[in-house]
Amino acid sequence: MKTKLKAIALFALLISSCKEKNEPIIVTTDEYHASVDKITNIMIHDIFSPPVASRIFAYPNIAAYEIVAQNNSDYATLVGQIKDLTSIPTPDKDIQINYQVSALIAHMDLSRKLIFSEDKMEVLRDSLYKVWETKNRLTFNNSKAYGLKVAEHIAKWMDKDNYKQTRTMPKFTVDTDDQSRWQPTPPSYMDGIEPHWSKIRPFALDSASQFKPVPPPPFSMDKNSKFYKELIEVYNVSNEMEKKGDTCEEIAIAQFWDCNPYVSVTQGHLMFAKKKITPGAHWIGITKIASKKTNADFDKTIFAHTKTSIAMYDAFISCWDEKYRSNLIRPETLINQYIDENWKPVLQTPPFPEYTSGHSVVSGAAATTLTSIFGENFDFEDDSEINFGLPVRHFKSFLQAADEAAISRMYGGIHYRSAVEVGINQGRDLGGFVNKKLTMLAK
């Protein structure tokens, strides 16, 4: 009887194995975009600061890119080009691997490790696993094992970037004796975020201060000083915008590029957060738009996102290095103290020092990098903010979009002109440096 049962079980197993599919697994760019979009939405939910968000975008993209470069001679490894990165493991030549499956698995696994709401990422991951496993179990299992192995390798490198150490460093001390120094702003009066971000290991930069900008105009409340003229400009521009009302183009621009994950809303005795994407997430959205418009294949899409996220990551390090060096007070604080106690900016002032403008630096870097990939005069419709109730805006180039993003900060009442103009140049210079240093396209 036992022999018969064993024979029946063996026969059932053979029948099952015959039914198992052995189809090629095709990974689409839409599946990669779904992974990035999922992470963006989770970051909004979990409320990550703009600098931290740039880290969450960059490392998973690098993991995916390094796997792509293993199998596509058009792309060169980043080993030797970005700090301390060592060669990822190579799979056994006798094992059947789908490198794109491995790349996306590495991207999802590393992304999952960098967020709080891991379960939300696992839903997408498990749905893709089910499809791939049904197509070809052997190839899927091999590719999964390799992707996870690479993710582990990149995670070990990532863990040495000083991020964990900065979590225990002291909070930023507010200097109340010097009226030029930054002070927490309403309505939440939050502490200055990420005061030690300049200590994070950069990717391409030699140091955080490599693109140190010129100092801001010397603080002075003398009405003839450059600083005061820039302060009163913010106030006057704001008042002119208010007179124009709902049809004001400048207000529309400010709101479109708001990208502040720390907006607090007060209703009666209640205060709650109004969640939005970060500046980096907006430019990742633009990278997606450009990739889809050009019908970029999976590998080029990974390449574009990786190069752009590296530039933005280093841009935040460069910008935050200056922010906490110059430690400059925001327009809102001075206008309320000396000009108009009832004045409020169009945008809520984010919780860190003023100079230089983070959105300007990051936008300049991202736009310069994207231009190197997709070309100048790249015409596109930016629908990145549709989910937040904002209309599509049209741009004739990435650089034009970056310029608008930069000036939006003055329209929003949260930056002086110098922070915007110096910041956009700081970002463009940094982006140009990244373009020259990283030879990701094989010659």
Measured at the CA of 333, the angle between CA 328 and CA 337, to 5 degrees, comes to 125
- The radius of gyration of the chain from alpha carbons, rounded to an integer in Å, stands at 24
CA 97 distance to own-chain centroid: 30
pTM: 0.93
Q: Cα(180)–Cα(327) distance, rounded to whole angstroms?
A: 8
DSSP string for residues in 179-236: TTB----TTT-PPPS-TTGGGSPPSS-SSTTTTPPPPPPPP---TTSHHHHHHHHHHH
Q: What is the sign, positive or negative, of the torsion defined by CA atoms of 387, 390, 393, 398?
A: negative
| Contact residues for 147 (Cβ-Cβ < 8 A; gap 6+) | 67, 101, 102, 103, 104, 105, 106, 109
pLDDT in tens, the chain (443 residues): 545 545 544 544 444 444 567 899 999 999 999 999 999 999 999 999 999 999 999 999 999 999 999 999 999 999 999 999 999 999 988 999 999 999 999 999 999 999 999 999 999 999 999 999 999 999 999 999 999 999 999 999 999 999 999 999 999 999 989 999 999 999 999 999 999 999 999 999 999 999 999 999 999 999 999 999 999 999 999 999 999 987 899 999 999 999 988 776 555 545 445 678 999 999 999 999 999 999 999 999 999 999 999 999 999 999 999 999 999 999 999 999 999 999 999 999 999 999 999 999 999 999 999 999 999 999 999 999 998 889 999 999 999 999 999 999 999 999 999 999 999 999 999 999 999 999 988 65
Q: Cα(40)–Cα(14) distance, rounded to whole angstroms?
A: 44
| 328 phi/psi in degrees, rounded to 5 | -90, 145
In order of their start, the domains of the chain are: 25-164 (no CATH), 170-437 (1.10.606.20)
For the chain, how far is it from start to end, CA to CA, in angstroms?
A: 68
| 2 phi/psi in degrees, rounded to 5 | -65, -40
| pLDDT given for residue 14 in this prediction | 45
| Contact residues for 227 (Cβ-Cβ < 8 A; gap 6+) | 216, 217, 218, 219, 220, 221, 416
